[in-house]
Amino acid sequence: MLERNLHKPTRKSMMKSDPALFSAMVAVWISFAIFIFLPILRLFMTTFVVEGTFSFVNMSEVMGKSYHIKALYGSLILATAVSISGTILGYLFALAVTRTSLPKVFKILLGGVTILPLISPPFTSSISLTLALGPNGMLLKAFGIGDFSIYGFLGTWISETLTYFPVAFMVITAILNTMSANLDDAALSLGASRWRMFRTITIPLSIPGIGNSILLLFGASLADFATPLILGGHSFPVLPTEAYLMITGMFDLRGGASLSFLLLVPALFVFLIQRLLMGKKSFVSVTGKNGARTEFAKLPTELSVVIGIICTIVVAFILYLYAIILWGSFVEVWSVNNSFTLRHYGYVFKHGKKAITDTLLIAFLSTVIGSVLAVVIGYIVQRKKFIGKRFFEFSSLLNYALPGTVVGIAYIIAFNERPILLTGTLSILVAAYVFRYYATGIRSVIASLEQIDPALEEASLSLGASSTRTFTHITIPLIIPAVLAGMRYLFIHCMTAISATIFLVSVRWTLLTTRILESMTELQFSQASAFSIVLILIVFIADAIMFYLLKLSTAKYHKPQEITNEKIGA
Amino acid sequence: MKKSALELRDVTKIFQKGHEVVRAVDMVNLSVAEGEMVTFLGPSGCGKTTTLRMVAGFELPSDGSITIRGKDMTNTPVNRRQIGFVFQNYALFPHMSVYNNVAYGLKARGEKDSDIRLKVLSALNLVGLVKTENRYPSQLSGGEQQRVALARVIVMEPQLLLMDEPLSNLDAKLRLHMRTEIRKLQKKLGITCLYVTHDQAEALTMADRIVVMNKGKVEQIGTPFEIYSNPQSLFVADFIGHANVIHLPVISIGDDEISVAIPDGGSFSARALKPHIYSADDTIYHEGKNAALIVRPESVAVVKRDDDKTHFSAEVVSSIFVGSHMEYELTLPNGDTVKASVPFQSGMKIFDEGDEVSLIFDVSNSVFLPA
């Protein structure tokens, strides 16, 4: 009898005592079914079902072509290289900021420069690398190098490293900051040298951050579509671009689907490892009861100097790349006719106006819808107990874990025919963004709820407030900072991401990022630069406004949430 | 008979921890009168907080019933129980001013703004917080936060006031002060109160009655005096204050008294308790078997070695002067350790380490329990 009673409260309560929650759950599951499960299922069927039966025909056809095998290797090698170089660079930057006595201005500059790639469209570094090191490249001319090609593995690798190392920087900075400075003091007081302390304390304790960063960067590079499209060239194929070219160039949906399946396997693998590692939660709790807060011990001077030099070079290079784009947007024809002109901006605001307004509308709608969903899902996952909770959480993050190309292809397959005909509509673009990029929002809501003592909600209930009133008057106001933080990232991604939506744009609805890509493929570099600059400015202004709101929302009772670990995740 | 404010009948809570079934609260029965202050005392994990949370309605019992003022509330949601709950960390809403914190429940109840204002201000006045209504919790000291938490609850005039270790986050001095203040307020308002604590001094000084819990079960319910002087189990004896527990062989059994053999030849008789867990016709003491003699350090007198056969011979192991008292630690010939706390008077004989002494146990304050 007691066994039966055990389960009674949890099971019965959902529908009966909390009808609002119950209907929210039903609505969320339905949206998962349509926008997450259906596309994956259709992708699976397109790949593996031939004339009504299960078959590997498509797969073996794709695998049979040596060029595709080369693309698979290319993807894996590139992802490995980027995850390692990006993590090393990120680690050096993190050390420079947290463990050296370099000037404060320099540290702020480092932090600021790492934000740039995050708010830029994914092509930015590819475009500027092309301008600097491509045919007629500025640096090549300056150094008189004639025979050099940026296209291929090298260019893609450099560009992706510069694009993704800020993620490593944030993940590792967060973990370096949560270490207890007392450990440094203890090591030094036990007679360790600074080198020894760095080797035996700092490095071992940052391993979780390093591991997480490698996984994040591996996944990001694996899924990156824009960089190899511009810089990969024919000699260095990777899976996302091959799948894209197969669909848009050869109209071969089956082939594209099969290729994207090859991509899906390593991506899911990385996602699962990451979930497993993060699931263990080796969180160092920061309760403020750590006694006196001392400063971290500095790195050995030699090491600080080396790190300082490397960071300076990288920062200078990044700033140089952005300067090139800015400059490039103001010249007639890059490297050929360098006279000043506003022609390209004129073009952007005349012929690109629709792309600007479309992008803004889509980003706005996705941000609002995505945030509401993120609050509901985050709340359910963190505060409620129900059967299938892990599956629920996993499902919610599935589109985020899959490479954008896979999601894009799955969406065109799934929504290209009745009953759910969405191709060419605004909804398909919004849905693609919402179910991919609300993940950061969900995580930040969950993280914020973890910080909020359930006693606050219990206090509200015990004072006679209903559960709905408790949610609107206590929970929501307390997680507003997290929601706004999630919104910032959602908006940035909606403005800049391209891998999934490149398949979904149409004559009716187009995006700034696709216009940049078009300009690049038409070799209109200056136009592409002008589009990029406009996009970066819009994102920057919108982000500043949201950051201001974030500050405002929390000014009264606590500090605004910093950009922390995991919020970004490319 | 007075109508009881709260009735717990066979209340049980079972948690499933993986494959293990934990009986966090096991068949708790309790009846609390109107206006009574009952403290729940026990070590951490004994089920006292879970019991309180079930009364509040945060947890539903796996079995048993909870009746508040004659109404069955076992499965009533917390927001319809009209209870006031004070949390260990106060759980003040950080995004609301003091005023809005205290007004929160009244607003949820839909009272008029003018009434709310009057009630909030008088509640703040009652707990000694004036002119703080526009501040935010983060701007208050721990003690002030505690008062806001109290005001927020009493302004609702709840049927029951439930407090979960409300003083454990305060420093020692403030804790003493708040103890008396809470008790005064509770008496003044005549409000029925359940109070969970692991601090025995708090329980003894604040309560009308104490419920001592251990491992999910009630060990004893009684007034502070009963609990202290008539512990029903070795656990209670040991948990409340310090008690010497000496195991000695029984030599004769009387009506409600037994005699035991003293290690060096004599005998000692005192009251023998029959804990409520035994039924009337159980025999719990047996000749030749050990019984546990419970005697508190302050009921032990230390004198020069004499020949009285009811006195215990002992040797002084340590002797510490603590101002008001002499604290002795002594060993009996059988190796048992006894502590004695003797009020200090000028001119009294002070013993040193290694001195041979006799111990006189105050018979009226010594009891036997089954070993």
- Distance CA(A434)–CA(A412), nearest Å, equals 16
In a domain, A251, yes or no: yes
Give the containing element (helix H, strand E) for A332: strand A331-333
- Looking at residue A337, the DSSP 8-state letter turns out to be E
Which residues contact residue A276 at a Cβ distance below 8 angstroms, ignoring those fewer than 6 apart?
none
Residue B199 · residue B210 · CB < 8 Å: no
Tokens of B296: 């508190």
- B154 → chain A, closest CA residue: A463
Quick: pLDDT tens for B22-74. 899 999 999 999 999 999 999 988 999 999 999 999 989 999 999 999 999 99
Q: How confident is the model at residue A555 (pLDDT cuts 50, 70, 90)?
A: low
The answer to whether the peptide bond before residue B275 is cis (omega within 30 degrees of 0) is: no
- B1 pLDDT band, cuts 50/70/90, is very low
Helix intervals (H) in A232-300: 239-250, 253-279
Domains of chain B (ranges; CATH) run 4-235 (3.40.50.300), 245-370 (2.40.50.140)
The pLDDT of residue A15: 54
CATH of the domain at A99: 1.10.3720.10
In a domain, A332, yes or no: yes
Q: How far apart are the first and last CA of chain B?
A: 38
Contact list in A for residue B152 (CB cut-off 8 A) is 459, 463
Residue A54: pLDDT above 50?
A: yes
Alpha-carbon gap: B116 to the closest alpha carbon of chain A (Å): 14
Residue A294: what pLDDT?
Answer: 62
Q: With a cut of 90, say whether residue A281 has pLDDT above it.
A: no
Q: Give dist(CA B227, CA B240) in Å, integer.
A: 8
Residue A251 has pLDDT above 60, yes or no: yes
The stretch B291-313 carries a mean pLDDT of 90
- The mean pLDDT value for A296-325 works out to 90
Dist CA A343 CA A330 (whole Å):
8
Residue A569, domain member (yes or no): no
Distance of residue A161 Cα from the nearest chain B Cα, in angstroms = 42
Determine the residue of chain A that is closest to B56 in CA distance: A462
Residue A340 three-state SS: strand
Q: What is the pLDDT of residues A20-51, one digit of tens each?
A: 788 888 999 999 999 999 999 988 888 888 87
Per-residue pLDDT band for B169 (boundaries 50, 70, 90) equals confident
In a domain, A5, yes or no: no
The per-residue pLDDT for A5 is 41
Mutate to test the interface with B, among A8, A462, A476, A478 (most CBs of B within 10 A): A462
- Could you say which of B16, B79, B153 has the minimum Cβ distance to residue A6? B16
- Tell me whether residues A453 and B16 touch, CB distance under 8 A: no
Query: Mean pLDDT of all residues in chain B?
Result: 90
Tokens of B101: 């914190």
Mean pLDDT of A62-85: 89
CB atoms within 10 A of CB A228: 31
Run of H or E residues at A335: none
d(CA A251, CA A245): 9
Report residue B105 as tokens. Answer: 């429940």
CB contact under 8 A, B80 and A464: yes
CB contact under 8 A, A558 and B16: no
> Looking at the partner chain, which of B78, B92, B94 has a beta carbon nearest the beta carbon of A558?
B94
* Highest mean pLDDT: which range of A48-57, A282-291, A359-368, B344-353: A359-368
> Confidence class of residue A187 from pLDDT cuts 50, 70 and 90?
confident
State the best of B14, B20, B62, B111 to mutate against chain A, taking most chain A CBs within 10 Å. B62
SS (H, E, C) chain B: CCCEEEEEEEEEEEEEECCEEEEEEEEEEEEEECCCEEEEECCCCCCHHHHHHHHHCCCCCCEEEEEECCEECCCCCHHHCCEEEECCCCCCCCCCCHHHHHHHHHHHHCCCHHHHHHHHHHHHHHCCCCCCCCCCHHHCCHHHHHHHHHHHHHCCCCCEEEEECCCCCCCHHHHHHHHHHHHHHHHHHCCCEEEEECCHHHHHHHCCEEEEEECCEEEEEECHHHHHHCCCCHHHHHHCCCCEEEEEEEEEECCCEEEEECCCCCEEEEEECCCCCCCCCCCCCCCCCEEEEEECHHHEEEEECCCCCCCEEEEEEEEEECCCEEEEEEECCCCCEEEEEEECCCCCCCCCCCCEEEEEECHHHEEEEEC
Q: How far apart are the C-alpha atoms of A202 and A184, rounded to whole Å?
A: 8
Domain that holds residue A306: 27-49+61-282+299-554
Which comes out higher in pLDDT, residue A498 or A94? A94
Q: Say whether residue B109 is in contact with chain A using an 8 A CB cutoff.
A: yes
Percentage of chain A exceeding pLDDT 90: 22
Do the chains contact at A467 and B89, CB–CB below 8 Å?
A: no
Read off the pLDDT band of A7 (50, 70, 90).
very low
* Rounded CA separation B16/B19 (Å): 7
Question: Radius of gyration (Cα) for chain A, nearest Å?
Answer: 25
Task: Tell me whether residues A2 and B16 touch, CB distance under 8 A.
Answer: no
Q: Is B95 on the interface with A (CB under 8 A)?
A: yes
B252 touches chain A (CB under 8 A): no
Mark yes or no for CB contact B104/A463 under 8 Å. yes
Contact A99, A298 (CB under 8 A): yes
**pLDDT of res. A14:** 53
> Which of B62, B93, B156 has its CB closest to that of A2?
B62
Q: Quick check: B95 and A469 CB within 8 A?
A: no
- What is the DSSP-derived secondary structure letter of residue A425? S
Question: Which residue, among A30, A113, A123, A31, has the nearest Cα to A438 in the 3D structure?
Answer: A31
Would residue A340 count as lying in a domain?
yes
The domain tally of chain A equals 1
**Which of A6, A456, A459 comes nearest B62 by C-beta?**
A6
Tell me, yes or no, whether A4 lies in a domain: no
Q: Does B152 touch chain A (CB under 8 A)?
A: yes
8 Å CB contact of B109 and A466: no
Average pLDDT of the residues in B343-365: 89
Rounded to whole angstroms, how far apart are CA atoms A165 and A518?
27
Question: How many contacts does A have with B, using Cβ atoms within 8 A?
Answer: 87
Q: What average pLDDT does range A298-308 have in this prediction?
A: 88
In a domain, A15, yes or no: no
Query: What pLDDT was estimated at residue A559?
Result: 40
Mutate to test the interface with A, among B11, B79, B88, B98 (most CBs of A within 10 A): B79
Does the pLDDT of residue B275 top 80, yes or no? no
The share of chain A scoring above pLDDT 70, in percent, equals: 90
Among A5, A458, A465, select the one facing B62 at the smallest CB separation.
Answer: A5
pLDDT at B340 over 90: yes
The token pair at A180 is 């207890």
Q: Taking the model in full, what pTM does it have?
A: 0.77
Q: A55: which residues sit within 8 A by CB, 6+ positions away? A: A48, A49
Question: A62 to each of A72, A228, A251, A364, A409, how far by Cα in Å?
Answer: 11, 20, 15, 39, 16
Helix (H) or strand (E) holding A505: none
| Residues of A in Cβ contact (< 8 Å) with B109 | 464
In a domain, A351, yes or no: yes
The string of pLDDT tens digits covering residues A127-170 is: 888 888 877 677 777 777 766 778 889 889 999 999 999 989 98
A interface toward B at CB cutoff 8 Å?
1-2, 5-6, 8-9, 17, 453, 455-456, 458-467, 469, 473-474, 477-478, 556-558
Which helix (H) or strand (E) element contains residue A471?
Answer: none
Average pLDDT of span B195-200:
92
